[in-house]
């Protein structure tokens, strides 16, 4: 039997509003101020992630094939 001690103030990590991504918060604020569609802003913000990931994967494959 394993006994796990807990100390005052210890709690399991939980994902809540305090952990909001700063990029998403800035997109929401920008959308509200400029009266743009927040949904469209998020969709537009998703594109660069997979694009950069794919470009990095191609670069890694090229670098390792040279060796």
Tally the C-alpha atoms within 13 A of residue 36's C-alpha that lie toward its C-beta: 15
Locate the domains of the chain by residue range. Answer: 17-66
CB 27 within 8 A of CB 42: yes
The predicted pLDDT at position 45 comes to 77
The predicted pLDDT at position 61 comes to 94
How do residues 14-59 score in pLDDT, each as one tens digit? 555 555 566 678 888 889 999 999 888 888 877 888 889 999 999 9
Say which residues have a Cβ less than 8 Å from residue 41's Cβ, sequence separation at least 6. 27, 30, 31
Q: pTM here?
A: 0.43
């Amino acid at each position: 039997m394993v006994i796990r001690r807990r100390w005052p103030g210890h709690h399991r990590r939980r994902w809540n509003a305090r952990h909001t991504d700063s990029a998403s918060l800035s997109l929401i604020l920008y959308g509200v101020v400029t009266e743009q569609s927040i949904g469209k802003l998020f969709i537009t913000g998703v594109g660069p992630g997979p694009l950069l990931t794919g470009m990095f994967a191609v670069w890694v494959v090229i670098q390792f094939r040279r060796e």
